[in-house]
Amino acid sequence: MPKETGVRLVELPQKCSLCGGTGWKEVPAGVDRRVTRCTCFLQEQSQQLLKSSGIPARYVGCEFGSYRVDVSQSQAAAKITAEKWADQYPLDRTGLLLIGPSGVGKTHLAVAAIRRLIDKGIHSLFCDYRELLKRIQNSYNPSVQATELDVLRPIFETEVVVLDDLGAVKPSEWVWDTVSLILNTRYNDKRTTIITSNFLDGPARKAGVSGTLAAAADDTLGDRIGERMRSRLFEMCRLVQIDGKDFRQRFRNGTR
């Protein structure tokens, strides 16, 4: 049984006409008496899971139905892949690695996927990569109550985690070690991870880092997270490459 990380018990309406507030309703089964979860329970559970998912307000309305696919076959294919994956989960617990340039809807698809899982009662968590690293660094401040483990525990324990914008922070030994800890822990515990990144797939071309390394326009995913972790990603996730024009730029320009 997956742990119910950060989710309180479902509070049911007291006067549901179907279940009377028990959360269970009877279903026809011949001479046998069988019950299943009532719709009121599933709806309340979904709302609580959504509130605790950490999805930013900007993305909370992202669903598969609102994802624009009219200008790119690549985006249309990515939507089909992500939606099919979400519908079939947990039959296949392999995660998703959504990569492509900015503005093609990687985060939209990642959020749509976990929203579909949340509707099925699956505990999911959205985590911005840059914000996570800042929170971990902040935990080293003696005046802060939260420890590094407090910050990382939900990332380690939640059944499905979105790690958004992987590679956005300049690589350093500390960054690589932290990424390694997160990915290896989830890999070893057989937990599912959805990852988005603006950096195209490719092997690391730089032997290592000393201090921090300035970002280069042609950096690969291997350059940003290390070749070892890039290899681990392909054990954890199915690659979904998304091409297309920046939707946000087209929106600002008034074009479609």
**Distance between CA atoms of 247 and 224, rounded to whole angstroms?**
25
Burial code of 111-132, b = ≥16 C-beta within 10 A, e = fewer? bbbbbbbbeeebbbbbbbbeeb
Shared-domain flag, residues 42 and 91:
no
CATH number of the CATH domain containing 145: 3.40.50.300
Q: Which amino acid is at 237?
A: C
Bridge pairing between strands 192-197 and 160-164:
parallel
Query: What does the pLDDT read at residue 251?
Result: 47
Q: Is the pLDDT of residue 216 over 50?
A: yes
For the chain, the average pLDDT equals 84
Select from 206, 178, 184, 197 the least CA-distant residue to 242.
197
Question: Any residues with CB less than 8 A from the CB of 17 and at least 6 apart, and which?
Answer: none
Shared-domain flag, residues 192 and 240:
yes
Shared-domain flag, residues 207 and 231:
yes
Q: 58-89 pLDDT, tens per residue?
A: 999 999 999 988 668 999 999 999 999 999 99
Shared-domain flag, residues 71 and 19:
no
> For residue 25, what are the domain limits?
1-52
Domain count, the chain: 2
Shared-domain flag, residues 244 and 218:
yes
Residue 57 located in a structural domain: no
Q: 227-250 pLDDT, tens per residue?
A: 889 999 999 999 999 987 765 555
**Distance between CA atoms of 191 and 121, rounded to whole angstroms?**
16
Q: 80-130 pLDDT, tens per residue?
A: 999 999 999 999 999 999 999 999 999 999 999 999 999 999 999 999 999
**Distance between CA atoms of 236 and 97, rounded to whole angstroms?**
9
Q: Is the pLDDT of residue 187 over 80?
A: yes
Shared-domain flag, residues 107 and 193:
yes
Helices 173-188 and 129-138 cross at an angle (nearest 10°) of 110
In whole angstroms, how large is the CA radius of gyration of the chain?
20
Say if CB 237 and CB 205 are below 8 A apart: no
Shared-domain flag, residues 30 and 126:
no
Residue 175 located in a structural domain: yes
Shared-domain flag, residues 121 and 248:
yes
Of 208 and 205, more confident = 205
Question: Given CA atoms 77, 78, 80, 85 in this order, what sign does their dihedral have?
Answer: positive
